[in-house]
Structure formats: C-alpha cells, structure tokens
Structure 1
Amino acid sequence: MDLISVLGVIIGFAALIGGNFLEGGSLSTLVNGPAAIIVFGGTIGAAVLQTPKQGIQRALNMFSWVLIPPKFKLPEGVEQVVAWSKIARKQGLLGLENAAEKEKDSFSKKALQLLVDGSDAEVIRHVLETDLAVVEQRDIEAAHFYESMGGYAPTIGIIGAVMGLIHVMSHLADPSQLGQGIAIAFVATIYGVAAANLFLLPIASRLRACIKEQSLHRELTIEGVCAIADGENPRAIETKLSGYLR
C-alpha cells in the first residue's frame, strides 16, 4: 500500500475539519444529507453520462492504483532486457521461449513471443508501439473519468447551494432560521470544492503519473527487444537503455 497517498488524504481532510473547529464550528455543521446527495449524486451522474461503459469499468479497476500503484522500476527493466539479450546471445532467439512462458507481464510476454517467432525489429516495433498507444489512450480516458468529476463537483456544489438558498428564501417570515439555513446551503459548496480538490483531481493526477511510468517502462522494453532482434550485444543494449535511467 502507498502510505504517502493515504497520508495525503488524511492531511487534507484533517486540515479542513480542524480549521472548522478552530473557527468555532462543529462536525455537525459539515454534515448535511441532502447536500451530499445533490453534489455526489449529480457529479457521478454527469461523469457517467459522458463516459463509455468500458471507460467507467477501467476507471473503477484503476482506482486501486492510488493505494497500490503498479511497480514499473526502470532499473529492473533494464536488467531484465539485458538478461534476455544474454540468453539470446548464448542460445539463440528460441532460447527465450522458456522466459516467455514464465513472464507475467502481458506486454513483455508478447514482446518475447515476437522474438521467439523470428519477427524482425521493424515488425516488433510496429506491433508493440501500436499496443502501447492503444493501452495508454484507454488508461488516460479512464483517468479522465475522475478528472471530469473534479470539474463537475464544484459547479454542482454551487447548484446545491442555490437550491438551499431558494429554500431559505421561502422562510423569510421566520428570521431565526435564516442564519442556520444559509449555513447549511453553503455546505453543498464545501462538498463540491473539497471533493474536487482534495480527492478527485489528485486521484486523476496520480493515475496519470502511473500511466506515464508504465508507458516509459514499455518504451524501454520495445527498444531493448528491437535491439535483441537486431543482434546487438548485451553491453551495447545496456548502454543504450541506460538513457532511460537519467
């Protein structure tokens, strides 16, 4: 689990609630059921409306990346490709068949299978770069699901506040209820702005960072596998791939 992400969420909400207490407020002033339904229901509804079913499913699956991000360590990637090149150097490309069977990462597995099949470097590069572009675009669209919710939430929070004020205006005959009613109305704005800036937009940014790291790791794999296909020696491949570590 990524404790930094958890710590970030805790600090953000602790600052919000702690600031409310320091100003003399109480937790009950920040709790309002109708406002929560308007803001969170409206935000989810708007995001679902604009996102295809596959994008929603992918976005929900990728949410776990916030707490348990996939590990794409570039140094280990370089070591892995160099190890493959040494096997190919000693045993030929068919010697990588065993490594392909054991490989868990689907992208690396496909790259090795292309090598074992005897595909030339140009074909391997074309196939893998196409896969990389498709997966990257799919993942970016999934991250955009959270980004779009972060854009809708503050606006819907304002809508909730206006609806609350309309309700307050209908009770002008009782001035004793105006202050409390207005305070409750603006809770919807707090929900919208806080959800967007403390939760939804940071999630989108975190997912984009994971996608970028994954794409960089796969670009490294493409370069390494194509070098193996071209018959380059392990030392030259390691030197070439070391540029990804800077």
Structure 2
Amino acid sequence: MDSATAIGVGGGFAVIIGANVMEGGNPSSLIQIPALVLVFGATLCVTLAGGTLADAKNAVAALKKAFTGKVTPAADVVPTIVGLADKARREGLLALEDAVKDIDDELLVKGVSLAIDGNDPEEVRTILESEVIAKRRADKQAAKFFSDAGAYAPTIGIIGTVMGLVHVLENLARPEELGHLIAAAFLATLWGVMSANAMWLPIGNRLKRLSELDVARMEVVIEGVSAIQSGANPRVVRHRLVSLLPAEEQSALAEAA
C-alpha cells in the first residue's frame, strides 16, 4: 500500500491546526457544525449534480483506492513478460497456457490467452488498447469528481460566510454578540478553502497519477504481448520493454538484474 495520500492529507490538516495553536488559537474554535454541514454537504451535492449516480459510486470506490491503492511500477512486469517470451520461443505459444495461470496481471493474462487462441496480432493489440482507453475514461471521471469538488468548495464556503454576515447585520443592536457571529461566519470560507486545497484537489491529483502509472504498465504489457506473439528473442523483448520505462525504473531494473 502506498500511503502518500494519507500522510499528505493528514499532515496538511495537522500543520494547519498546529499553526493555529502556535498563534494562540483553540482548535475547537474551528469546529462549527453548521459550517461543516454546509461546506461538505453542499459541495458533495453540487458535485453529484454535475454527473451521474454511477459517477458518484465510482468516486466512492476511487476514494478508497486513493488512500490504500498499491503503486505497481511498470518495471515489475518486465521479468514476467521476458520469461513468457523465452518459454514461447523455446516451446511455442501453446506452452504458455499453464504459465499464465500464476500471473496476477489481468491484461497480460488476457493478451497471452488471445495470442494462444491464434487471434491476429493486430486484433489482439486493438483489443488490449481498447482496455487502456476504457481504463483512462473511468479513471478520468473518478478524478474529475474530486477535482470538481475542489473547485466548488471555496465558493460554497463564501456562500456560508455571506449567510453568516446576514446574521451579523441582523444583530447590530447587540454589539456583544458581533465578534462571535463574525468569527463563525468566516469559518465557512475557511473550511471551503481548506477542504479544497488540503483534501479534494490532492485526492483528484492522486487518482490522476495512479491512472498514469496503471496505463504505463498496461502499455508495457501490450508491447510485451505483441513481442511474444511475434516470437521475438527474449533479449530483444527485454530491451524493447525497458526502453519504455522511466529512467529511474530502468536503473532499478538494471540493479535487480
């Protein structure tokens, strides 16, 4: 599990609260239930209004992935593909039928299975590339949900502040209550801006990054399946796949080898 999001979001809120304490503030003074209900409730509602119920359900699943998702570098699949290429070159594609049973990568299993069934290489590539396109679309929509929430939250917070200032104006005859009412009014803006920049937008960016890493691995798999089906030399397959990796992953793979 990659805990970057949990550390980042938790750390961001901790720093903000810590700074408030250092300035002599009381963290409990930042907690006002009406402001929290307005900012978070209205933000989620208007974000939902911009999509579909299915988008919201996918976003909930994506939220779990953002905090607990495992980052699988594309380099991790290279040795597996090279091993399959070597076995296919020595024993033929049909010999891979048992080998794919122990592989966890669904796209690699699907691609090799299609190759074993004797499908045309171009047709196999088209099918696998369609999987990548579908993956990109789903991930883009999930990330968009949280990015949209980050865009709406500050404005919702301003609405809450305006509502609070209306109450301030209603109580001008009671000066002793104005300080409390003004402070409470600005809490909505605080939570709107803070939730957007310390939670919603980072989660959206995290999902985009996870999607990029997943797609990069899938592209390596597609090239690997194509090389296996063509009967390429395992050494050539390795060089071909390594060339698709970022520099740091190439170095890590070379050290492991």
| Common fold by TM > 0.5 | yes
C-alpha distance in 2 between matches for 1:28 and 1:221: 52
Do 1:120 and 1:230's aligned partners in 2 also have CA atoms closer than 8 Å? Answer: no
C-alpha distance in 1 between matches for 2:61 and 2:6: 18
How far off is 1:240 after superposition? 0.7
C-alpha distance in 2 between matches for 1:99 and 1:141: 35
SS at match of 2:243: helix
Q: In the TM superposition, what whole-angstrom CA distance separates every residue of 1:18-75 from its partner, at most 9, and x where no partner exists? A: 2222222212220111111110110000111112222222221122222322332222
How far off is 1:103 after superposition? 2.9
Residues 1:114 and 2:114 aligned together: yes
C-alpha distance in 1 between matches for 2:186 and 2:214: 41
Letter in 2 for 1:160: G
Compute the TM-score of the two structures, normalised by the length of structure 1: 0.95
C-alpha distance in 1 between matches for 2:112 and 2:58: 26
The structure-2 alpha-carbon separation of the partners of 1:61 and 1:150, relative to structure 1 and needing over 3 Å to count, comes to: same
Match of residue 162 from structure 1: 162
SS at match of 2:72: coil
- List aligned pairs for 1:39-188, cutoff 5 A: 39-188=39-188
Match of residue 199 from structure 2: 199
How far off is 1:187 after superposition? 0.3
Shifted more, 18-27 versus 218-227: the winner is 18-27
Letter in 2 for 1:75: A
C-alpha distance in 2 between matches for 1:108 and 1:60: 27
The number of residue pairs the alignment matches comes to 246
C-alpha distance in 2 between matches for 1:71 and 1:22: 36
C-alpha distance in 2 between matches for 1:108 and 1:240: 16
Letter in 1 for 2:240: K
Letter in 1 for 2:36: A
Q: In the TM superposition, what whole-angstrom CA distance separates every residue of 1:150-186 from its partner, at most 9, and x where no partner exists? A: 1110000000110011111111100111111000000
Q: In the TM superposition, what whole-angstrom CA distance separates every residue of 1:92-143 from its partner, at most 9, and x where no partner exists? A: 1111111333333322221111111112221111111011101111111111
Match of residue 35 from structure 1: 35
Considering only aligned residues, what root-mean-square deviation do their CA atoms show, in Å?
1.4
Which sections of structure 1, spanning at least 5 residues, go unmatched? Answer: none
Match of residue 253 from structure 2: none
Off by >6 Å, runs of 4+ in structure 1:
none
Do 2:5 and 2:202's aligned partners in 1 also have CA atoms closer than 8 Å? Answer: no
Do 1:224 and 1:241's aligned partners in 2 also have CA atoms closer than 8 Å? Answer: yes
Q: In the TM superposition, what whole-angstrom CA distance separates every residue of 1:162-217 from its partner, at most 9, and x where no partner exists? A: 00111111111001111110000000001101100001100111111000000000
Letter in 1 for 2:85: S
Compute the TM-score of the two structures, normalised by the length of structure 2: 0.91
Do 2:2 and 2:71's aligned partners in 1 also have CA atoms closer than 8 Å? Answer: no
Letter in 2 for 1:93: L
C-alpha distance in 2 between matches for 1:71 and 1:152: 29
Residues 1:237 and 2:237 aligned together: yes
Letter in 1 for 2:158: I
C-alpha distance in 2 between matches for 1:57 and 1:10: 24
C-alpha distance in 2 between matches for 1:171 and 1:16: 31
